[in-house]
């Protein structure tokens, strides 16, 4: 079983700086917001991360640079990129472009949610799945989508090898309506044997809020910390 890549909470100063820069970028882009939001698990979260709001060329290009830097710093080996429908599709394409700019040109593919019965047909689009596949997505909540991607990839000649996400919520997953002692990321690492790299984690967000000079952001720190203490994993 593969060991998980170090998350930014345990990484060196360069990764910590990258994570703090990413949090600032997400806040400035309106992708990361504070308030009261209901999660899929029915929890009331004091923050919300919506990667769908990286919605113009400049934001998407900068997001791709964060992903690329994290992937290359992690040292994970991969032969191609896969983006799960739907949010993973532009992420995979943008990451492939950025990696090519950095001298690492790799193929990418994505899936449709509905099979096409004409043209090339099927649910897969792009390069043929082969070798070690890096899955790119925004966050991993319940882990359902990533398990579907892993099954799809492993049903071919390829092998799902690693995953890169923008934010690790470091939050307990739910199974059959009950909290469990692991997060979706930890499940993928420990039970499915895939490596996972995150550009930033909830701990990085807490560090940013604790150190910020902006009073409005600093006020969110106690609520986010309380949420982490109640629902977080080690």
CB-CB contact of 149 with 160 (8 Å): yes
- Nearest residue to 49 (alpha-carbon basis) of 63, 34, 32: 32
- Nearest residue to 167 (alpha-carbon basis) of 190, 141, 134: 141
Beta carbons within 8 Å of 99's beta carbon, 6+ residues apart: 68, 71, 72, 81, 105, 106
Phi and psi, residue 128, nearest 5°: -60, 140
Q: DSSP H helical segments within 102-211, as ranges?
A: 144-154, 184-190, 202-211
Catalytic site residues? 116, 118
Helix (H, G, I), strand (E, B), or coil: what is residue 208? Answer: helix
- What CA dihedral angle connects 152, 89, 26 and 9, to 10 degrees? 30
> What is the Cα–Cα distance from 81 to 74, expressed in whole angstroms?
15
- Nearest residue to 206 (alpha-carbon basis) of 12, 28, 32, 1: 32
Could you give the count of Cα atoms lying within 13 Å of 214 in the half-sphere of its Cβ?
A: 9
Max distance between CA atoms of the chain, in angstroms, equals 56
């Amino acid at each position: 079983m593969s060991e998980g890549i170090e998350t930014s909470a345990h990484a060196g100063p360069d990764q910590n700086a990258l994570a703090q820069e990413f949090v600032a970028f997400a806040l400035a882009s309106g992708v990361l917001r504070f308030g009261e939001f209901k999660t899929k698990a029915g929890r009331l979260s004091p923050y919300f991360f919506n990667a769908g709001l990286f919605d113009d060329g400049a934001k998407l290009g900068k997001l791709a640079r964060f992903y690329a830097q994290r992937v290359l710093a992690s040292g994970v080996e991969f032969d191609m990129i896969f983006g799960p429908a739907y949010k993973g599709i532009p992420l995979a394409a943008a990451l492939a472009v950025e990696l090519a700019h950095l001298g690492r040109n790799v193929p990418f593919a994505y899936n449709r949610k509905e099979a096409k019965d004409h043209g090339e047909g099927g649910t897969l689009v792009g390069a043929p799945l082969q070798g070690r596949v890096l899955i790119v997505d925004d966050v991993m909540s319940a882990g359902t989508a990533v398990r579907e991607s892993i099954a799809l990839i492993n049903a071919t000649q390829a092998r799902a090898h690693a995953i890169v996400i923008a934010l690790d919520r470091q939050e307990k997953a739910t199974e059959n309506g009950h909290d469990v002692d692991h997060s979706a990321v930890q499940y993928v690492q420990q039970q499915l044997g895939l490596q996972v790299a995150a550009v930033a984690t909830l701990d990085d967000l807490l560090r940013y809020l604790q150190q910020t000079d902006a009073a409005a952001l600093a006020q969110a720190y106690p609520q986010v910390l309380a949420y982490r203490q109640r629902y977080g994993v080690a």
